[in-house]
Amino acid sequence: MYNFRFSVPTTIYFGKGQISHLSELADFGSKVLLVYGGGSIKRNGIYDTALKILEDAGVTVTELSGVEPNPRIETVRRGVELCKEQKLDMVLAIGGGSAIDCAKVVAAGAMYDGDAWDLVLDPSKIKKALPIFSVLTLAATGSEMDCFAVISDMTKNEKWGTGADVLKPTMSVLDPTYTFSVSRKQTAAGTADMMSHTFENYFTKEPGCDVQARFAEGLLKTMIKYGPVALEDPENYDARANLMWAASHAINGLIANGSQPAWCVHPMEHELSAFYDITHGQGLAILTPAWMDFVLQKDPSTAANFAEYGRNVWGISETEDEKAAREAIAKTRTFLFETMGLPENLCAVGIDSEEHFEVMAEKAAKGSVGCFVPLTKEDIVKIYKAAF
Ligand code: NZQ
Ligand code: ZN
């Protein structure tokens, strides 16, 4: 296990009615930028509730609305301008990962002299940020408790993740009832995303990280138990609560620190989103089993890892690693595509040609250096083709 520093300074208020704690924003200033997406927060009433609490606390609100799923740099720039022009004190995102990610880079951009895209391309330029707050409405990305933000420039087909300690939210409100209105599609995609975060951290060649591995298996079992429940019974509180809390821990450093894995399925998916603007979790679901098949074949020593996953997460009793590994991958495939109803291949999300595979693979290969099984550009093209 490598040395590491674990620091999550985000205060979490978890549970029904915890939005009342937005009144604490008054301790950080009197002017907030409220960042949200296409209007789901107005339809489910969270917007009105938040505005009333902020008003009562004496905090005035400037709005940045219309943040896109796969948030765009143009929207970030609008937010930075508002913060600078109006000398705003802090940012509050209400929504899923897209609203939160956008708010994070706005918060950093407000304290940076150049263009906000610099901060996406080069995380070392993120030195300061306005205080960041979030009210999470979709369990998936873990952005509510992590240091990352993912922003796209669709004019260049670029989507990159950036990250810095100062991007960790000061406070996040996690009220599972706010996710009752999440659609089947986004519930399934969110579950695939949090599972992928767990896989990216769990599949590592670093020995001796038992605590991290057992936490990861617990998270996966929770996601596998409750994803289907949330799909069939969207207002099941325990299902929504467990998914929400599991998603936060899949990416906040708890299961990554010590083994320091580089991620590889995410860089491949980010290229799909950058070129085709697809839903992140759907792209991950499509790529994950194809990636598992590929790395098991490329590096047979990974059979031990996949077999351990199969036995500890799926209860597979097969004693031969190679067979147990194949069973585990088959279980994963069935869960994602049949139980959760996620799209099975790239054609199913509207990607009907292989024309960009080479250039996407070249970029993804750069982003996944040091991962579980190193992948070349040619390997990634093969994975895209297998998923096609
Ligand atoms: O825009 P609104 O109207 O709010 O609707 C959203 C959006 O259409 C809707 N939604 C959210 N909460 C809802 C709801 N609809 C009904 N009821 C609710 N309670 O769901 C749609 C998707 O929202 P979005 O925020 O885009 O989804 P998600 O949370 O999956 O975020 C995806 C983005 O996060 C990035 C992804 O790449 C993608 O850009 N990621 C961020 C990470 C991070 N910060 O650590 C890591 C991830 O790996 C990921 O890359
Ligand atoms: Zn993700």
Ligand 1 pocket residue status of 141, Cβ below 6 Å = yes
CA dist 186 and 168 (Å) reads 24
CA dist 185 and 136 (Å) reads 18
Angle at 13 between CA 75 and CA 245, to 5 degrees: 80
Residue nearest to atom 34 of ligand 1 (CA): 97
For the chain, percent of residues with pLDDT exceeding 90: 98
Residue 62 has pLDDT above 90, yes or no: yes
**Pocket probe mutation, ligand 1, options 49, 65, 98, max atoms within 8 Å of Cβ:** 98
Residue nearest to atom 16 of ligand 1 (CA): 182
Residue 260 has pLDDT above 90, yes or no: no
- Residues with Cβ within 8 Å of residue 68, at least 6 apart in sequence: 37, 38, 75, 98
Q: What is the mean pLDDT of residues 2-8?
A: 96
247 contacts 142 by C-beta, under 8 angstroms = yes
Ligand 1 pocket residue status of 97, Cβ below 6 Å = yes
CA dist 236 and 172 (Å) reads 22
**Pairing between strand 90-95 and 132-136?**
parallel
Q: What is the mean pLDDT of residues 42-54?
A: 98
Residue 109 has pLDDT above 90, yes or no: yes
Q: What is the mean pLDDT of residues 254-274?
A: 95
- pLDDT, tens only, 354-364: 999 999 999 99
Three-class HEC string of the chain? CCCCCCCCCCEEEECCCHHHHHHHHHHHCCEEEEEECCCHHHHCCHHHHHHHHHHHCCCEEEEECCCCCCCEHHHHHHHHHHHHHCCCCEEEEEECHHHHHHHHHHHHHCCCCCCHHHHHHCHHHCCCCCCEEEEECCCCCCHHHCCEEEEEECCCCEEEEEECHHHCCCEEEECHHHHCCCCHHHHHHHHHHHHHHHHHHHCCCCCCCHHHHHHHHHHHHHHHHHHHHHHHCCCCHHHHHHHHHHHHHHHCCCCCCCCCCECCHHHHHHHHHHHHCCCHHHHHHHHHHHHHHHHHHHCHHHHHHHHHHHHHHHCCCCCCHHHHHHHHHHHHHHHHHHHCCCCCCHHHHCCCCCCCHHHHHHHHHHHCCCECCCCCHHHHHHHHHHHC
Q: What is the mean pLDDT of residues 13-20?
A: 98
Ligand 1 pocket residue status of 152, Cβ below 6 Å = no
Ligand 1 pocket residue status of 69, Cβ below 6 Å = yes
Ligand 1 pocket residue status of 134, Cβ below 6 Å = no
Ligand 1 pocket residue status of 288, Cβ below 6 Å = no
Ligand 1 pocket residue status of 147, Cβ below 6 Å = no
Ligand 2 centroid vs 39 CA: distance in angstroms? Answer: 22
**Of 86, 87, 123, which is closest to residue 108 (Cα–Cα)?**
123
Q: Which tokens is 263 given?
A: 């991620």
Residue 256 has pLDDT above 90, yes or no: yes
CA atoms within 13 A on the CB side of 4: 16
CA dist 11 and 171 (Å) reads 5
Ligand 2 centroid vs 319 CA: distance in angstroms? Answer: 32
Residue nearest to atom 48 of ligand 1 (CA): 141
Residue 84 has pLDDT above 90, yes or no: yes
Neighbours of ion ligand 2 (CB under 5 A): 193
Q: What is the mean pLDDT of residues 44-51?
A: 97
- pLDDT, tens only, 140-181: 999 999 999 999 999 999 999 999 999 999 999 999 999 999
Residue 369 has pLDDT above 90, yes or no: no
Ligand 2 centroid vs 281 CA: distance in angstroms? Answer: 7
Residue nearest to atom 47 of ligand 1 (CA): 141
Ligand 1 pocket residue status of 140, Cβ below 6 Å = yes
Residue 378 has pLDDT above 90, yes or no: yes
- pLDDT, tens only, 287-300: 999 999 999 999 99
pLDDT for 364: 96
Task: Look up the pTM and report it.
Answer: 0.98
State in Å, rounded, how far the first CA of the chain is from the last one: 37
Ligand 1 pocket residue status of 177, Cβ below 6 Å = no
Residue showing tokens 């499509």: 286
Which ligand minimizes its atom distance to the CA of 280? 1
**Pocket probe mutation, ligand 1, options 94, 146, 150, max atoms within 8 Å of Cβ:** 150
Dmax (CA) of the chain: 64
Residue showing tokens 């970030």: 76
Residue 261 has pLDDT above 90, yes or no: no
Ligand 2 centroid vs 189 CA: distance in angstroms? Answer: 10
Ligand 2 centroid vs 200 CA: distance in angstroms? Answer: 10
Ligand 2 centroid vs 114 CA: distance in angstroms? Answer: 28
pLDDT for 367: 83
Ligand 2 centroid vs 332 CA: distance in angstroms? Answer: 17
- Give CA 101 to chain center in angstroms: 10
Which ligand minimizes its atom distance to the CA of 199? 2
Residue 208 has pLDDT above 90, yes or no: yes
* Confidence band of 368 (pLDDT split at 50, 70, 90): confident
Q: What is the mean pLDDT of residues 203-232?
A: 97
Per-domain boundaries in the chain:
11-178, 184-387
Ligand 2 centroid vs 28 CA: distance in angstroms? Answer: 30
Ligand 2 centroid vs 294 CA: distance in angstroms? Answer: 20
| Class of the CATH-defined domain 11-178 | alpha beta
Q: 184-387, superfamily in CATH?
A: Dehydroquinate synthase-like - alpha domain (1.20.1090.10)
Residue 370 has pLDDT above 90, yes or no: no
CA atoms within 13 A on the CB side of 372: 25
Q: What is the mean pLDDT of residues 334-358?
A: 97
For the chain, percent of residues with pLDDT exceeding 70: 100
Q: Strand order in 11-14's β-sheet? A: 11-14, 171-174, 132-136, 90-95, 31-36, 60-64
pLDDT for 156: 96
